[in-house]
Amino acid sequence: FSGPFTDVVTTNLKLRNPSDRKVCFKVKTTAPRRYCVRPNSGIIDPGSSVIVSVMLQPFDYDPNEKSKHKFMVQTTYAPPNISDMEAVWKEAKPDELMDSKLRCVFEMPNENDKLNDIDASKPAPVLNTSKQDGPMPKPHSVSLNDTETRKLVEECKRLQAEIMKLTDENRHLRDEGLRLRKVAHSDKSGSPAALALRDNGSNCLPSLLVVIAAIFIGFFLGKFIV
């Protein structure tokens, strides 16, 4: 019997009949108040076996006290037409009885076994899948992102103001070009080549300013989106 003995401890006893006749069995103990045996008697058919459960009642275990408890399994061939088991044992002759004696041994688990049992009884840790994976961002990193965002917004506003300014200048240059073309048409002494050169120069400058402004605003807007 393996402790601790603070609760009922059960061990099983297997009885096998190797003969070709039915066998009656009975289980006896020197401490009947300390044990509960089920079944404590019965019949085993030829070649069959029976499991007997021996239940030790709780008690205060003393490792220095040696166990004196013993069991005896008594058997005899079953007579034909059995009607009363008690009569079989009373009428059986001593030379017809067979018995096997067993001594009880109490064992307490060692400390390593206790630790293993405790670890096995602990529930497995459950992961909280509702939490985000990975480390949480630190507060100062959030403030840095906000500061960077504000800088990008201010830079975007500044670029928008520059675009509006360049648009006004482009409109002013376009009006100036139209005025110069009118003056050139009205000036009969003007050369056609010189007139074409002035028109091309007036048209290229505003377009170049618009291209430069588009490159800058695309660069900063792309950085802000990323």
Domain range enclosing 176:
149-182
Q: What is the pTM of this model?
A: 0.47
Examine residue 166 and state whether it is found in any structural domain, yes or no: yes
Residue pLDDT, tens place only, 94-138: 999 999 999 999 988 775 554 455 555 555 555 444 444 455 554
Describe the strand order of the beta sheet including 23-29 as a list of residue ranges: 41-44, 23-29, 70-77, 98-103
Examine residue 207 and state whether it is found in any structural domain, yes or no: no
Among 41, 76, 103, the domain-final residue is: 103
pLDDT at 20: 94
Token duo for residue 116 = 């293993």
Residue pLDDT, tens place only, 151-184: 777 777 777 777 788 778 778 888 887 888 777 6
Among 103, 133, 158, the domain-final residue is: 103
Examine residue 13 and state whether it is found in any structural domain, yes or no: yes
Examine residue 56 and state whether it is found in any structural domain, yes or no: yes
Examine residue 92 and state whether it is found in any structural domain, yes or no: yes
Q: How many domains does the chain have?
A: 2
Among 47, 78, 103, the domain-final residue is: 103
Examine residue 125 and state whether it is found in any structural domain, yes or no: no
Check whether residue 34 and residue 93 sit in a common domain. Answer: yes
